[in-house]
Amino acid sequence: QVQLMESGGDSVPAGQSLTLSCVLTGDTMLSSYVAWFRPAPGKEREGGASISPSRRNTYYGDSVKGRFTISRDNAKNVVYLQINSLKPDDTAMYFCAAGWMGGNWAVVGSYKYWGQGTQVTVSS
């Protein structure tokens, strides 16, 4: 059974950093691209970052480049999202997605599996 479980969300003041974790279970997860999403204006969710199974390739949304860093530990089946210099606009539920089916990595419909999300709240 494939499961994704996010954690690490918190309420923090602006300027701090957070690292979110996504634990993946299931036989196919090691060979899957994994991405982090969050809601965006006019969209249900927007891709923030994605990482390939080998960790060789990473992708970032234009609005988060330079502040988001995605990484993965395949030995632990965990994908991380480090967010630096947090802003109030970063306040959102962050979701982990896996089972990329092809197409645009930043699009919700490109992924088969989703976690329940972890809440990040940033105060000014």
Residue 92 to residue 90: CA distance in whole angstroms: 6
- In the chain, % helix, strand, coil (3-state, to 5) comes to 5, 55, 40
Residue 123: per-residue pLDDT? 97
Count Cβ atoms below 10 Å from residue 40 Cβ, excluding itself: 15
Res 95 pLDDT > 90: yes
Up-side HSE of residue 68: CA atoms within 13 Å toward CB? 25
Q: Taking 80 as the threshold, does the pLDDT of residue 29 lie above it?
A: no
